[in-house]
Amino acid sequence: MKTRREFLKVSAGGLLLAGGARWSGWAGAANELPSGAIESGRLGSLPGKLPLIQKSFRPPNFETPVSYFNEAFTPNNAFFVRYHLAGIPEAIDAAQWRLAVSGESVENPLELTYENLTRDFETVEVAALCMCSGNRRGFSQPHVPGVQWGHGAIGNAKWRGVRLRDVLNKAGLKKDAVEIVLGGADGPVLDKTPDFVKSIPAWKAMDENTLVAFAMNGEKLPHWNGYPARIVVPGWTATYWMKHVTTISAIAQPFKGFWMNPAYRIPKGKFPVIDRFVSQETDANTPITEMVVNSMITSPEGGRKVRAGEAVTVAGVAWDGGYGIATVEVSLDEGKNWQTAQLGADLGRYSWRQWSHRFTPARAGRHTVLARAINRVGATQTFELIFNPAGYHNNVVQRIEIEAT
């Protein structure tokens, strides 16, 4: 079995690709976002990807342009890319890849090949939204540290793989398991940088929808989205969706690691979430878990010019942590009155839901359009940011302006 370090062949000048080609990825000078200039990101490219909004080069962080969100499922080659560490495998040979399942809370540690994973377990598929915890961080006022994401650190896909619980049961998961620790093939370039290792509660790992996925939208996972296999935790933010997964370890006590604490924490009791990671909570804060109810206007673009007296269709998507979208409402008068939008097909509780609303601007001039989602447990979006130091859970009601002539 190749060691983790053998995967991490990284040059000082850039990441090497299979065949010796150097990954450049630059579309111009480094992206510098002036205060509040969320949309000033330059387009850059990665091998196998369409031009995406480049937020950082090393590690690569690229967000999806909003225009791609008019589709029910985000194309693989337009799906956002998020890495914390620059030690990314140049390429992984599925025939050489191994997944080690071990830990004090399993009876029979095992090692799976790609063939074992894809052949020896029941294959299932789940439609689920993958969203970076810091999506929309760039809109925080005052600004907070971290990648200044706009709206595009998000994507919807059909994930195919095997249930994580089936893998754990094959290894003989013990009743004393508290958390399942996940590691991937990417790693730090410097030894003093904390390796990106995450854990999830044992009960979440045993949920029937939590997967070890090897396919995305009917194709093998793209390299930049976790090939050959990644963890999929539907309903929870993508910090737990370990890419290039190589290790799964069951432990009988809370995992202690930088990327669990102090990273990816939110103030305790500040957000209306139901799923909690109790074994990692402190008196002051708790790990981020499920996504809060949210929506996005995907069409038309803000600033679009239309004709007064002609119908305009406003469209978008809405999502939450898996409780389901009950309704989406649109306001044309700064929130004084709301009209119910038409919902698209229900693609599953963890998928986003498309919506649309048709209206006719009766007069020439500027028109403001607001949209908000309400889920099936009664939660809705906020009008003011619930500020937190990491810029998480930004679900402020979105607004766009169009000009009727």
Q: What is the 3-state secondary structure (H, E, C) of 341-383?
A: CEECCCCCCCCCEEEEEEECCCCCEEEEEEEEEEECCCCECEC
Q: Mention the CATH class of domain 294-404.
A: mainly beta
Q: What is the chain's pLDDT, residue by residue, as a tens digit (405 residues)?
A: 444 434 333 322 233 222 223 232 222 222 233 343 344 468 998 999 999 999 998 899 999 999 999 999 999 999 999 999 999 998 999 999 999 999 999 999 999 999 999 999 999 999 999 999 999 999 998 999 999 999 999 999 999 999 999 999 999 999 999 999 999 999 998 888 999 999 999 999 999 999 999 999 999 999 999 999 999 999 999 999 999 999 999 999 999 999 999 999 999 999 999 999 999 999 999 999 999 999 999 999 988 899 999 999 999 999 999 999 999 999 999 999 999 999 999 999 999 999 999 999 989 999 999 999 999 999 999 999 999 999 999 999 999 999 999
Contact 336, 383 (CB under 8 A): no
**In the chain, what are the domain boundaries?**
4-82, 98-287, 294-404
Cα–Cα dist 244/235, whole Å? 20
Residues 204, 201: Cα–Cα separation, whole Å: 5
Read off the tokens for 212. Answer: 């070890």
CATH superfamily of 98-287: Oxidoreductase, molybdopterin-binding domain (3.90.420.10)
Secondary structure element (H or E) that encloses residue 72, with its range: none
- The rounded distance, in Å, linking the Cα atoms of 66 and 154 is 10
Please give the model's pTM, rounded to 2 decimal places. Answer: 0.89
The whole-angstrom distance between residue 55's C-alpha and the CA centroid of its chain comes to 15
Degrees to nearest 5, angle at CA 126 with 209 and 201: 25
Whether the bond between 59 and the residue before it is cis, its omega within 30 degrees of 0, is: yes
> For position 5, what pLDDT does the model report?
39
* Length of the chain, in residues: 405
What's the pLDDT at 41? 64
